[in-house]
Structure 1
Amino acid sequence: MSRLLPTRTDAAVERSCNPDVLSLDDDETRDVLEALSSETAYEIFRLLNQTPATPARIAAELDQSIQNVHYHLTNLESAGVIEVTDTCYSEKGREMNVFVVSQDPTLLFLGTEDDRTSLKRAFKSFASLLGPPSILLAAGESISRIVTGE
């Protein structure tokens, strides 16, 4: 017998190619670090980075109370690192949000806004350590936009 209301989601984790760059002198950076500072929040974020999930599924997988999971989901959503992507329904017919990591990846730069040229040098050094300069070619356009502020 098919169900009237969907109890599962077919949402997928899709990431864009435009990273959000956070630096130390940015208030958003503080919010992200505070939201991820607890072990439970960090584990929730890691789980959502692998697959979309409802609060009930997260609570079951991490052996946490649903109230604790809701608290951390609210903090993570307020910081902008996760978002609601879909809605499904429990066996009892209750509406449940399905959470995923935010579509834009986030790059945390441990410098200030004035240090953006250091970011470019850091990427060049990183690429030279790995060998192939193709890393910079693949990310070149995004990096140049970040560095120039365009």
Structure 2
Amino acid sequence: MARLLPTQTDTTVERSDTPAVLSLDDDATRDVIEALSSETAYEIFRLLNETPATPSRIADQLDQSVQNVHYHLENLESAGVIEVTDTCYSEKGREMSVYVVSKDPTLLFLGTEDDRPGLKRAFRSVASLLGPPSILLAAGEAVSQLVTAE
């Protein structure tokens, strides 16, 4: 018997080539750090970075309660690091949101805008040349060079 409501999603996420660059003097930085500070929230973020998922699937995979997962999803969504990408339905016909890591990657610079005037522009250039997966490698290399230069 065919189902009337979709119980799965075929969501694939295309990541943006332009990351948001946050520094310590940016108000959004505190929100991102606070949202990811919990071990559970961090694990949820990592899971969503691999594949879109519903709260119940996340709860099953991380052996957490659905209520706890919802709490962390709300915090992560408020910080702008995840978003709802689709809706599907449970076997019982309940509507479920499908979450995914935000399409705009975020680069966190642990300094202020005044510390390194061209750093934001440089990271954006690196991201546009190498693509979002390479941002962390480029950031790590840049931080390494900044530390050894001082």
TM over 0.5: yes
What 5-or-longer segments of structure 1 have no aligned partner?
A: 124-134, 140-150
Q: Which residue of 2 aligns with 1:138?
A: 129
Paired residues, what number?
128
Structural mapping, 1:83-102, within 5 Å: 83-102=83-102
* Secondary structure in structure 1 of the residue aligned to 2:86: strand
> Normalised by the size of structure 2, how large is the TM-score?
0.79
Aligned in 2, Cα 1:120/1:42: closer, same or farther, shift over 3 Å? closer
Q: Distance in 2 between matches of 1:5 and 1:119?
A: 48
* TM superposition score normalised by structure 1: 0.79
Corresponding residue of 1:10: 10
In the alignment, what sits opposite 2:71? 71
CA contact 2:17–2:127 (8 Å) conserved in 1 = no
Asked if 1:19 is matched to 2:19, the reply is: yes
Distance 1:137 1:86 in 2: 27
> Does the CA contact (< 8 Å) of 2:21 and 2:120 recur in 1?
no
For residues 26-65 of structure 1, the aligned pairs below 5 Å read 26-65=26-65
Output the aligned Cα RMSD. 2.0
Question: For 1:25 and 1:10, how far apart are their aligned partners in 2?
Answer: 39
Structure 1 residue 36: Cα displacement: 0.1
Identity of aligned residues (%): 80
Unaligned runs of 5+ in 2: 131-150
Q: Give the Cα–Cα distance (whole angstroms) in 2 for the partners of residues 136 and 11 of structure 1.
A: 24
